[in-house]
Amino acid sequence: MEVLSRILKKIEDCVLLRGCHVGPSNSIGVRISYLLFADDTILFCDASREQLLSIRLALTCFQAFTGLKVNVGKSEIVPVGEVGNLDALATILCCRVGSLPMKYLGMPLGTPYKTTSMWNPILERMEKKLSGWKRIYLLKGGRLTLVKSTLSCLPTFYLSLFFIPVAVADRLEWIQRNFLWGTSEECFKYSLVAWEKVCFPIETGGLGIRKLVHFNKALLGKWLWRFGQEETCLWRRVIAYKYGEGQGGWTTKLCRRAHGRGLWRGIHDGWESFSKHMALVVGNGTCILFWHDKWVGDNSLKGFILSCMDFHERELEDAYSFLECIQPQIPRGGGSDTSHWCLKRNGKFDTRSYYNTIRGAAVSIFPWKGVWKAKITKRVAFFMWTAVHRQIPTLDNFILRGRILVNWCCLCHRNEEIVDHLLLHCPIAHSLWVYMFQIFGTQWVMPSSVESLVYCWSFWLGKLNSNIWNMVPGCLMWIVWTKRNWRSIEDTEKSLV
């Protein structure tokens, strides 16, 4: 490709290929004649017979120099705007005529801003994957692994570049949710735990599945960060000329006009939220606005003064503290200004830190180590996770969802079937817990809820001796649950031992 690049550069220098101009017509702007990526090439030219003949000449020279053949069968000529003599121009290059919008390197090109149809390939791919998996009997643990590893990753390629409409995100999450809980067209299953909770991090009681709208915002934040860092890169120069630089060159001006198809507009919409977490480090001060930018502490100078100074009572004292505060920040001509990402100690942008901040911290405390760190199967851990949330499909939960049922515990035939009763306090379950305490030679007062039990239980014997101890709650509750299902669903009786 180096050879082709040189040939194209040569004909560009000789003004035989004019390329496309980005920026206001009265400015130098950026002129792009060709883009090369791996073995793909995009050429930009005017709708002129002479320029197309130059391109044909360049391709012929390339074939003669390298012995490689240009596959015109795979090539297309695509008009941008009104082009009259398109067929005649296509004949020069012996290629097909294409049109926008189209796909290039697997990504949509020329698709309107915020359109939902652009996401159809992702939806189709996700549904295709699912139809293959439907034929396989999958347990909850396996389903969770597939949702996290495959379904969640499918749209990442798109999410890192395009703004996702809420309707599309909802649809994708609906597919994920149905797959996780086993709902299909033929069979309805209850979502045992709310999707909001499922999307919490594991440490705060969720399954660590990402919320797509927030994840999209965090991924697009990468471009906002790179805009302030990669001053000489071609993509940055194109965006800067197209929209104009704003705010000292850290981003562009507001994208109000319907420029092109609005790819950058979708990214730039996140600037307000993004910039709250970005501080500026003063070098020579040329890219920093003295009054409005955040270069003193966590606030702009304007905000700092308005919040700190009381001009009526403590004028002198506040003036000193203000001077002390800005003294270390005064520009001393030491290199260029730089940006600092406040959510990471090293000051470098990171998608994870931004995502965690956008998603917001979940305040709930959850005994996640007792659930996920115990050496039990994923299926049992998933059951335990649901039980800690008090959402296993017991009769009380069915009644809460509007089913009319008689609530009674099929193990003891005395109490109502409530999660904590069934797994902890039911006489049959309790006898198993007592038996287990005897084996370990310990005394234990049974807590009131499954959550409290798992919270107190994990690593009670110390880190070194707790491997088997930590497995007990999951295994024991699973045994009780299986026994309960034999009795209530299959109407059979099997020994617990």
Q: How far is residue 401's CA from residue 362's CA, in Å, rounded to a whole number?
A: 25
Minimum distance from CB of 476 to Zn ion (Å)? 15
Stretch 253-292 residues interacting with Zn ion (CB under 5 A): none
Q: How many residues bind Zn ion (CB under 5 A)?
A: 5
Compute how many other C-beta atoms are within 10 angstroms of the C-beta atom of residue 385. 28
Sheet strands (E) in 250-386: 251-252, 278-281, 338-341
Determine which residue in the list 411, 423, 432, 477 makes contact with Zn ion, applying CB under 5 A.
411
Stretch 453-492 residues interacting with Zn ion (CB under 5 A): none
Residue closer to Zn ion by CB (options 114, 425) is 425
Residue closer to Zn ion by CB (options 263, 423) is 423
Stretch 147-186 residues interacting with Zn ion (CB under 5 A): none
Minimum distance from CB of 422 to Zn ion (Å)? 6
Q: Segment near Zn ion (CB under 5 A), from 13-21, 25-33, 57-65, 420-428?
A: 420-428
Compute how many other C-beta atoms are within 10 angstroms of the C-beta atom of residue 238. 17
Q: Look up residue 412 and give its two tokens.
A: 């003891």
φ/ψ of residue 185, rounded to 5: -60, -35
Minimum distance from CB of 493 to Zn ion (Å)? 15
Q: Where are the alpha helices (DSSP H) in 80-211?
A: 86-93, 120-134, 140-146, 156-159, 166-181, 195-198
Residue closer to Zn ion by CB (options 387, 409) is 409
Stretch 370-409 residues interacting with Zn ion (CB under 5 A): 409
User: The dihedral of CA 170, 172, 175, 178: what is its sign?
Assistant: negative
Minimum distance from CB of 408 to Zn ion (Å)? 8
Residue closer to Zn ion by CB (options 181, 408) is 408
- Contact assessment for residue 247 and residue 295, using Cβ atoms and an 8 Å cutoff: no
- The answer to the question of residue 418 lying near Zn ion (CB under 5 A) is no
Minimum distance from CB of 423 to Zn ion (Å)? 10
Minimum distance from CB of 451 to Zn ion (Å)? 19
Residue closer to Zn ion by CB (options 381, 409) is 409
For 114, the enclosing helix (H) or strand (E) is: none
Q: Which neighbouring-strand residues pair with 21?
A: 31
Residue closer to Zn ion by CB (options 131, 482) is 482
Minimum distance from CB of 478 to Zn ion (Å)? 17
Q: Segment near Zn ion (CB under 5 A), from 148-156, 245-253, 308-316, 425-433?
A: 425-433
Minimum distance from CB of 482 to Zn ion (Å)? 15
Determine which residue in the list 309, 412, 476, 479 makes contact with Zn ion, applying CB under 5 A.
412
Residue closer to Zn ion by CB (options 325, 479) is 479
Minimum distance from CB of 427 to Zn ion (Å)? 7
Residue closer to Zn ion by CB (options 152, 415) is 415
Residue closer to Zn ion by CB (options 326, 412) is 412
Q: Segment near Zn ion (CB under 5 A), from 76-84, 130-138, 226-234, 415-423?
A: 415-423
Stretch 319-378 residues interacting with Zn ion (CB under 5 A): none
Q: Segment near Zn ion (CB under 5 A), from 61-69, 99-107, 256-264, 424-432?
A: 424-432
Residue closer to Zn ion by CB (options 162, 481) is 481
Closest listed residue to residue 360, CA positions, set 152, 203, 214: 214
Minimum distance from CB of 119 to Zn ion (Å)? 49
Minimum distance from CB of 219 to Zn ion (Å)? 49
**In 266-283, which positions are buried (b, 16+ CB within 10 angstroms) versus exposed (e)?**
bbbbbbeebbebbbbebb
Residue closer to Zn ion by CB (options 220, 480) is 480
Q: Segment near Zn ion (CB under 5 A), from 112-120, 318-326, 422-430, 481-489?
A: 422-430
- The answer to the question of residue 426 lying near Zn ion (CB under 5 A) is yes
Compute how many other C-beta atoms are within 10 angstroms of the C-beta atom of residue 262. 20
Beta-carbon contacts of 141 under 8 Å, excluding residues fewer than 6 positions away, are 377, 378, 379, 381, 382
Q: How far is residue 388's CA from residue 419's CA, in Å, rounded to a whole number?
A: 9
Q: Using CB atoms within 10 Å of the CB of residue 119, give its burial: 0 to 12 exposed, 13 to 18 middle, 19+ buried.
A: buried
Strands 278-281 and 338-341: antiparallel
Residue closer to Zn ion by CB (options 59, 429) is 429
- Contact assessment for residue 306 and residue 282, using Cβ atoms and an 8 Å cutoff: no
Question: CA gyration radius for the chain?
Answer: 32
Q: How far is residue 448's CA from residue 418's CA, in Å, rounded to a whole number?
A: 12
Minimum distance from CB of 474 to Zn ion (Å)? 20
Closest listed residue to residue 347, CA positions, set 299, 278, 301: 278
Q: How far is residue 270's CA from residue 218's CA, in Å, rounded to a whole number?
A: 9
- The answer to the question of residue 419 lying near Zn ion (CB under 5 A) is no
What number of CA atoms fall less than 13 Å from residue 413's CA on the CB side? 1
Q: Segment near Zn ion (CB under 5 A), from 184-192, 225-233, 236-244, 419-427?
A: 419-427
Residues at the site binding Zn ion, with contacts judged by CB under 5 A: 409, 411-412, 415, 426
